[in-house]
Amino acid sequence: MKTGGTAAALSVLASVAMPPVHAAGSDLIQVALIGCGGRGGGAAANALSVKRGPVKLVAMADLFPERLATDLTKLQQRFPSQVDVPPDRQFLGFDAYRHAMDCLNPGDVAIFATPLAFRGVHFNYAIQKRLNVFMEKPLTADGPSSKRMFALAEQASAGNLKVGVGLMSRHSRAMQELADRVHNGEIGEIILQRGYRMHGPGGYFLSLPKPAGITDLLYQVKRFHSFIWASGGCYNDFYIHIIDHLGWMKNQWPVKAQALGGRHYKVSPDGVAYVDQNFDVYSVEYTYSDGTKFFFDGRCMNGCQEIYNSSLQGTKGMGIASAKSDCGLPSSLYKSQMAAPENLIWESKISPDERDPYQNEWNDLMDAIRDDKPYNEVKRGVEASLVSSMGRMAANTGREITYDQMLNCDHEMAPGVEKFTMDSPAPLLADASGRYPVPQPGIVTTREY
């Protein structure tokens, strides 16, 4: 997508009052799922669980037939009257996203749950089709794709499209109240934040050399957590929620990061070397423009103490943002720096029907569509992705990285992704032993591998 073309499109759109976009001819909102498995099936289930107005899943797309079939079966069993995806609306391949979105009308919703490298390509087509969108996090892994996504976000708003991003902490009713209280000064000025996600390997964090019978490209897409171009690695995909909601509590983004990281146990129990690009541990010091710090620690190693929460210290007290996991209840505030019961000044009390932030984010998006309210979370989603990438790059290079350096780094990790076919070469090429390039802090310092 040429920058000049985007600017021209925005100029034209800005001069026209865009009408509301609704599902054509009825109250029914149709949904297409692009990217099955994992969060794809979960997002589709959340969409079909919205109580306000009829919703139906009508098309699905993926690269892997088994993932599409598994999600389809699960969704049919759970929502038999809301799933209408016959074989001629089940699409496979790198162009499947187009066919799935072609089944929708303007004002319907496309779900993007593919690896992030494809986010901009799919979003651009949805804007052309005048579709509302829900896209999973993270959104970008490098500077060039972030700039394109910022431009597409403006184009979507100019076209009156509603776009949700799967950073569900923002839809936790507990964290929404916490943010209001913190921003109103209940614990004074924030002077320190801590985030931890430390547990055993999950998802596709580890990968062995590519087996026979699958191309490098399909192997890397299938095991996307292992490869930075596809997911931002475990750092972006696993850690972005805590990075996002602590930035929200501070009401700004960090401006720079320095970090440590390392690979420790990269050999399988059978003695075969893992080939993923992830570090086993990350320890990142983020700095805000006022000099205050946010420390994030991530670890994917078995046998170690597990810690998975987030907190903030203020000049008049402290708060727990997530008591466990990415946004686990309760959130709370204390009148001192110790989270002891006698110091508690507030604890979240959430009604049962609003305790699931994954469902809340879909309820909020559908409300915006049906009420024609401005709703576009993409800019913030790209910013959270950039801050995640900034910490990752600091660890991977061994250098301090600023927000602007991350945004303007010209290392595009998956150029030409819009032209991928089943026979395309992969963005990463393995050596003779099947190993892919890995970060080398202090040796490779202007890019990550």
Contact 61, 92 (CB under 8 A): yes
| 90-92 β-sheet, strand order | 90-92, 55-62, 29-34, 109-112, 132-135, 163-165
Structure tokens at 158: 């100019």
**Residues 363 and 410 both lie in one domain:** no
Decide: 363 and 351 in contact? Cβ < 8 Å: no
CATH number at residue 22: 3.40.50.720
Residues of the chain with pLDDT under 70: 1-26
Answer with the one of 319, 345, 374 that is the final residue of a domain: 374
For residue 270, give both structure tokens: 């059978």
**Same domain membership, residue 177 and residue 66:** no
Two tokens, residue 251? 């009401």
Structure tokens at 24: 């054509």
Structure tokens at 338: 């110790």
Whether residue 449 is contained in a domain is answered as: no
Tell me which residue has tokens 């078995």.
302
C-alpha radius of gyration, the chain, whole number: 22
147 and 265 both lie in a single domain: no
Residues 149 and 177 in one domain: no
Task: Give me 167's structure tokens.
Answer: 């950073």
Question: Does 374 sit behind a cis peptide bond, omega within 30 degrees of 0 on the bond before it?
Answer: no
Give the Cβ contact number of residue 38 at 10 Å.
Answer: 16
For residue 319, what are its two tokens? 């708060």
Q: Is 226 helix (H, G, I), strand (E, B) or coil?
A: helix
**Residue 401 pairs with which residues in a beta bridge?**
257
The reported pLDDT for the residue numbered 26 is: 67
Q: Is the dihedral of CA 124, 366, 246, 206 positive or negative?
A: negative
Q: How many angstroms separate the Cα of 127 from the Cα of each of 39, 121, 122, 151?
A: 22, 10, 9, 12
Total length of the chain: 449
For 318, the enclosing helix (H) or strand (E) is strand 318-322
**Residue 277 maps to which CATH number?**
3.30.360.10
Residue 433 lies inside a defined structural domain of this protein: no
Between CA 269 and CA 253 the distance in angstroms is 41
Q: Is residue 429 part of a domain?
A: no
Residues 150 and 221 in one domain: no
234 and 317 fall within a common domain = yes
Structural domain containing residue 312: 170-354+386-419
pTM of the model: 0.93
Q: Are residues 197 and 153 in the same domain?
A: no
**Ramachandran category for residue 201: left, alpha or beta (phi over 0 → left; psi -120 to 50 → alpha):** beta
Query: Could you give the CA distance from residue 83 to residue 57 in angstroms, rounded to a whole number?
Result: 5
Distance CA 95, CA 97 (A): 5
Q: What is the pLDDT of residue 12?
A: 42
In a domain, 435, yes or no: no
Cis peptide before 138 (omega within 30 of 0): yes
Distance CA 27, CA 13 (A): 26
Shared domain check, 199 and 329: yes
